[in-house]
Structure 1
Amino acid sequence: MPYIEAAVRRPQFIAAARSALAAHGVAKTSVRVVAAEAGVPLATMQYVFPSKAELLRAVIEDVVDEIAEVLAGSAEVDRGLEHAIRQGLEAFWGALVEGGRELQLLQYELTLYALRTPGSEELARRQYQRYADVVAGWCRQAAQSAGEVTSVPFDRLARMIVAGVDGLILQYVSDPDDARAREAVAALADMAIGLAGVRPR
């Protein structure tokens, strides 16, 4: 087998790990299972990821990056905060939740793994901080572009939006109903806009 640098192998192995985790769950996914999924010898996998803990840390970071990137690109921030919240939530839901049940299940399973694994708890904290930072960023940008102010700080508004989305996702993966979920997303947007108390500067 020709030599391939670890930097090139790394994203390939993370993708293989995500596939294996989606199929088998965290408990049944080992470095050996991921090596088989990637079609490489175990020693090659262990050269890049010597332990399951290191591999799972990389997968968590990859999943968080993907979700944060979609969140960041979801909102239209040039038509005021109310529009950004409504449109951003709808776009995110359509892009990553409807039809994306496996990704959401994987995210929750990895979050619980991080919280239960000594030394990895910080990954879970950083995950939600990152989501909140992204949402606060587009709320701030949307309000500022329209000359608006809010009754609550953007970071508090963002954390409430993220908490609401999290709860709706758990309900959806437990009992998928697209029409009901869309109504719930719209209701969450109404509540977030009410909390924001948007008014002209």
Structure 2
Amino acid sequence: MHEIMTIEEVAEYLRVSERTVYDWAQKGDLPGGKLGTTWRFKRSDVENWVNSRISQQTPSKKKGMTSSATLTAERILILDECDKDTVLRNLVDLLAETPFVHNRDELLKGIFAREELMSTGIGFGVGVPHVRIDSVSDLVMAVAVSKKPISGYSSLDNQPVQIVCMLAARSDQHAKYIRTLSGVSNRLKDAAVRKAIIEADDPAFIHSQLFGE
């Protein structure tokens, strides 16, 4: 994906209609500009805009991440060293074992298609690969923690990624999906939490750190 994006590419990345992207751009909500009569957007500006919008929302424990359903300790991997593709495939396999994912290959394809648009390394050592597809019946999450930086995983701040939280949701679960992404992002902005998670050898402890339990 080029650094300069079209309306169609931004719509695909944000999982909204092209008309919605056009309206946001016209109102000045979404950073972009016209080259002649055609809208163009910088990939980094769109990514920063998304992260800013997510971070502005305050997650509610009742309405946001529900630890017992969204993530269990059994879906937390602790790795010594790994590359990005292997981490993503391992997390997809974990999610495919849940009753919420009905097509493993479609989930894998969706995750990698999302990464081709733009890396989901959001900064401060965290990656959040995510997708909404019809073959997922409810939002579900898996996590990988690597003791060493994950090779090949680029991020907005160029810092090495060591914590990867993968989210898969049903296509119409926009609100729950955004709240959960926001909850993950806000929780992992805490350097002490990240340090505790990376140093931990117990999935149950990592689970408690992610959810502030």
> Shared fold by TM > 0.5?
no
TM-score in terms of structure 1 length:
0.30
Query: Between Structure 1 and Structure 2, whose CA radius of gyration is higher?
Result: 1
Higher percent of residues as helix: 1
